[in-house]
Amino acid sequence: MFNRDRWQEIFETIRKNKLRTFLSGFTVALGIFIFIILFGFGNGLKNQFQEFFLDDATNVIFLFPGKTSKPYNGFKSNRRIEFKNDDLSDIKEQFPFFLEYITPRISRGAVVKYKNEFDNYTTRAVGPAHQFAEKTILMKGRFINQDDIKNKTKYAVIGRLVAQDLFNQEDPLGKFIDIGNSVFKVVGVFQDDGGDREERYIYIPYTTRQLLERSNDKLDQIILAFKPQIGHSGSVLFERKLREFLKKKKSIDPSDPNGIYIRNVADQLKQNQQFANVLQLIVTFVGLGTLIAGIIGISNIMVFVVKERTKELGIRKALGATPKAVIRMILQESIFITTISGYIGLFIGIFVLKNIGVSLQDYFIKNPYIDTSTALFSTMILILFGGIAGYIPAKRAAQIKPIIALRDE
């Protein structure tokens, strides 16, 4: 296979035809380079998308109260519906088959102070299960627990950025902060993959919030999770039953579209995943397109190269080169050039991707990458097609009678 003489002949040809070599090599390198960059960006877009939409629990249903738009059962329309504590226990009782956990959420803005530092934050009064619904990750201490709910404790779990802003380097655990003129003890610090906004929340027990608001039993919204094993169709059924149950309980016309709103994350998730799939499709399509463009580029160059060398090949044949020798020479040369320049393009592409990756986060491209196997595979495809693109005209040139090739000026 390895023939030193043949390689020497090829290196000589390459060395003495620098422009031609450069042009064909450049086409290949550029093709691979663009492929890697585009494919990497596509992956980055997908990454960012996943971070945006897929960071919360995926089996969650949100319930919001609204205003009725139809009179029903003696009530006027435009009546404001409110959730109460007993709704929680009723749902728990009614749907043990579907329900995984349930938590209320009462959101209030408040000025929060610690020593001389203060700022506006949103507090969320919640139950223990809220931690799972938001996929809150605890860095220090603990989350709100059942005892806090029972005893209406004045404990708070603060976000990472709240801790950073108010406490600076100090350890916030066990310290007392002032939330809307009530003193709370910090029992935990959390972080969240959902981004900065999520890390500026303060969690407190919902019963404590109700106590502070003149011991009412109102809830802003209810967040509940269905058992994952019931699947998407099960969740749709659950959602429908939940709606029927609550409408009946709150005396809302069954045909009233308002009154209670239900948002099923599973629905959203399905849409988001479809969108992610479309993104993947676009990325693949763009990648394939670039690759095909690259292949066409190489084919063009190879056809041109062989055409340009027709006379030379005729001379070589007159001097005793067999068709096989002619084809082998052209193929070996073209594969050599495409391999070298293909890998040059590959490495430059990966290098550029690595280095500009971070600075593109503002443009919705996060951590662009291309996996090694895709990169190597596409480079190999390009080399293969470079070879085929060289082989066809080379074979034709090798079959031309030398007398015709020699006449070619």
Partner 1 sequence: MIKITNLHKSYKMGNSSLHVLKGIDFEVEEGELVAIMGSSGSGKSTLLNILGMLDVLDEGSYLLDDVLIKDLDETKAAKYRNQFLGFVFQSFNLINYKSALENVSLPLYYQGIARKERQEQALEYLTRVGLADWATHLPSELSGGQKQRVAIARAMASKPKVLLADEPTGALDTKTSYEVMDLIQKINEEGNTILVVTHEEDIAKMCKRIVKLKDGVIVEDSKVKQVLAADYV
Q: Using CB under 8 A as the criterion, which residues of the chain lie in contact with partner 1 when the complex forms?
A: 5, 8-9, 12-13, 16-17, 311-312, 314-325, 398-399, 401-403, 406
Rounded CA separation 204/222 (Å): 15
* Minimum gap (Å) between residue 298 Cβ and partner 1: 22
What Cα–Cα distance (Å) separates residue 312 from each residue in 18, 82, 134, 321? 17, 90, 72, 11
* Minimum gap (Å) between residue 294 Cβ and partner 1: 27
What Cα–Cα distance (Å) separates residue 32 from each residue in 136, 342, 343, 371? 42, 6, 8, 14
Task: Give the nearer residue to partner 1 in terms of CB position, either 46 or 316.
Answer: 316
Please, what sign has the CA dihedral across residues 87, 137, 273, 107? positive
Task: Give the nearer residue to partner 1 in terms of CB position, either 38 or 330.
Answer: 330
Name beta bridge partners: 157.
Answer: 188, 203
* Minimum gap (Å) between residue 8 Cβ and partner 1: 7
Task: Give the nearer residue to partner 1 in terms of CB position, either 171 or 308.
Answer: 308
Asked if residues 144 and 153 have their Cβ atoms less than 8 Å apart, the reply is no
Strand positions, DSSP E, 241-301: 260-264
- DSSP letters along 314-372, please? HHHHHTT--HHHHHHHHHHHHHHHHHHHHHHHHHHHHHHHHHHTGGGGGGT--S----H
* Minimum gap (Å) between residue 332 Cβ and partner 1: 14
* Minimum gap (Å) between residue 344 Cβ and partner 1: 24
Longest dimension (CA), the chain: 108
* Minimum gap (Å) between residue 386 Cβ and partner 1: 22
Task: Give the nearer residue to partner 1 in terms of CB position, either 321 or 376.
Answer: 321
Task: Give the nearer residue to partner 1 in terms of CB position, either 82 or 308.
Answer: 308
237, with CB counted inside 10 A (0-12, 13-18, 19+), is middle
Taking each helix axis from N to C end, the angle separating 265-308 and 18-53, rounded to the nearest 10 degrees, works out to 180
* Minimum gap (Å) between residue 338 Cβ and partner 1: 21
* Minimum gap (Å) between residue 17 Cβ and partner 1: 6
* Minimum gap (Å) between residue 389 Cβ and partner 1: 22
Task: Give the nearer residue to partner 1 in terms of CB position, either 18 or 76.
Answer: 18
Asked if residues 342 and 298 have their Cβ atoms less than 8 Å apart, the reply is no
Rounded CA separation 354/251 (Å): 59
Question: CB under 8 Å to 50, separation ≥6 — which residues?
Answer: 276
Task: Give the nearer residue to partner 1 in terms of CB position, either 163 or 306.
Answer: 306
* Minimum gap (Å) between residue 16 Cβ and partner 1: 4
* CA nearest to 124, candidates 114, 110, 113: 110
Question: CB under 8 Å to 209, separation ≥6 — which residues?
Answer: 106, 108, 123, 125
DSSP code of residue 230: G
Task: Give the nearer residue to partner 1 in terms of CB position, either 16 or 214.
Answer: 16
Task: Give the nearer residue to partner 1 in terms of CB position, either 295 or 397.
Answer: 397
Task: Give the nearer residue to partner 1 in terms of CB position, either 7 or 176.
Answer: 7
